[in-house]
Amino acid sequence: MTLAAQILVFAGVFIVLASAVGLVRAKDLLTRLHLLAPATTLGAPLIGIGLVLVNGVQLGSGAILATVVLLAVTSPILQAATARLEARRRGEIDEDLPA
């Protein structure tokens, strides 16, 4: 494994682990969603790019990149939708407003 790949994977794993520790300690849903964001938008792409550097150009690398891109694009959207539903459930958002 190259040094660049090791650094990327290590940094990604560190971010995911730090987010996981925060998730365990968080009390409410909105705080958990906030702490989940770095793991899905930064940690996973760093790990994925590191794995692609290790594997080189092949079909498996394409699958890794497709998964990372899909996760990085859809995760913020799903987190925002979940936070909006929670805020609406708590009564912090007017239910008559358009979604």
How far CA 89 is from CA of 13, 73, 83, 92, 97, in Å, comes to 34, 26, 10, 8, 13
Give the tens place of pLDDT for each residue, 30-83: 889 889 889 999 999 999 999 999 988 888 899 999 999 999 899 999 999 998
3-state DSSP call for residue 96? coil
Residue 18 has pLDDT above 90, yes or no: yes
- What confidence score (pLDDT) does residue 1 get? 73
- Which residue's entry shows tokens 């940690």? 43
Q: How far apart are CA 18 and CA 5, in angstroms?
A: 20
Neighbours of 13 (CB within 10 A): 14
Would you kindly state where each structural domain of the chain is located, as residue ranges?
3-90
Q: Specify burial of residue 86 (Cβ count, 10 A radius: 0-12, 13-18, 19+).
A: middle
